[in-house]
Amino acid sequence: GNSVTQMEGPVTLSEEAFLTINCTYTATGYPSLFWYVQYPGEGLQLLLKATKADDKGSNKGFEATYRKETTSFHLEKGSVQVSDSAVYFCALQGGSEKLVFGKGTKLTVNP
Amino acid sequence: GAVVSQHPSRVICKSGTSVKIECRSLDFQATTMFWYRQFPKKSLMLMATSNEGSKATYEQGVEKDKFLINHASLTLSTLTVTSAHPEDSSFYICSARVVRSDTQYFGPGTRLTVL
């Protein structure tokens, strides 16, 4: 079945540091890929998505590229801020329209 | 656009009582809504898929009679936790899928505590 594996946290960075959160997936066919962010005490918010190979999703300085050859969708940001502190979830959606989530990576950014 | 609300945001109830959680799409119509459960420090677990006007489809291991789902309109789905027990305490999140889109938009979640 479909599955998502993302790097375990927690990840702690200083403000303005470079961020990478790795995400790899296993799926049949050609799934859509997503990154969701969950701020403390809140529900999930869609951060970015990509629907086909080589697509790059981007939002709020975050980027992720759909790499079919490596089955990856790593999240990156060049310079993180304290306000980026949250839990980040990688997810895929196959033909059944169900979202399959990774376990989440908690990011803490210190001033 | 694409805002999903949940009510209540927090609820505390006694063991044995029933609790209803509402999920509304505020500015779009959602033929499909999803209910998830999130345990502390863990990922989201899909409980059921709710389609407007039809019975919900439950994931394996989710009790249909305990978690009643109703999707009465294109903007409202409800989850009723019946005869709640302390082990039902969790964070329940709904999402709604925009018609003709693969994107799900999530509600802010409901924190249920059963005493």
- The DSSP element (H or E) to which A32 belongs, if any, is strand A32-38
pLDDT band at B53 (very low <50, low <70, confident <90, very high): confident
A10 touching B (Cβ < 8 Å): no
Rounded Cα distance between A12 and A110, Å, is 7
Say if residues A25 and A92 touch (Cβ distance below 8 Å).
Answer: yes
For residue A18, pLDDT over 70 is answered with: yes
Q: Which residue has the tokens 């993180």?
A: A80
pLDDT value at B68 more than 90: yes
Q: Which residues of B93-113 are buried (b: 16+ CB within 10 A; e: fewer)?
A: bbbbbbeeeebbbbbbbbebe
Q: What is the pLDDT of residue A98?
A: 84
Q: Which residue is associated with the tokens 């039902």?
A: B88
CA distance linking residue B75 with residue B105, whole number of Å:
13
* Cα of B96 to nearest chain A Cα, Å: 12
> How many angstroms away from the CA of B102 is the closest CA of chain A?
7
Beta bridge partners of A93: A32, A99
Residue found under tokens 């924190």: B111
Res. A44: pLDDT tops 90: no
Preferred mutation among B5, B60, B101, B102 to probe A, highest tally of A CBs within 10 A? B102
Report which listed range, A12-21, A23-32, A95-104, is most confident: A12-21
Residue B87 DSSP SS3: helix
Residue B1 has pLDDT above 70, yes or no: no
Chain B nearest-CA residue for A43 = B108
Residue A32 has pLDDT above 70, yes or no: yes
For the cut 80, the answer to whether the pLDDT of residue B105 exceeds it is: yes
Residue B100 has pLDDT above 90, yes or no: no
Q: How many CB atoms lie within 10 A of CB A100?
A: 21
Q: How far is A51 from A45, CA to CA, in rounded Å?
A: 17
- pLDDT at position B52: 83
Q: Name every chain B residue with its beta carbon within 8 A of the beta carbon of A97.
A: 32, 49, 97, 102
Whether A29 shows a pLDDT value over 90: the answer reads: no
The tens digit of pLDDT for each residue in B7-42 reads 999 999 999 999 999 999 998 888 899 999 988 777
Residue A41 has pLDDT above 80, yes or no: no
Cβ B103–A49 below 8 Å, yes or no?
Answer: yes
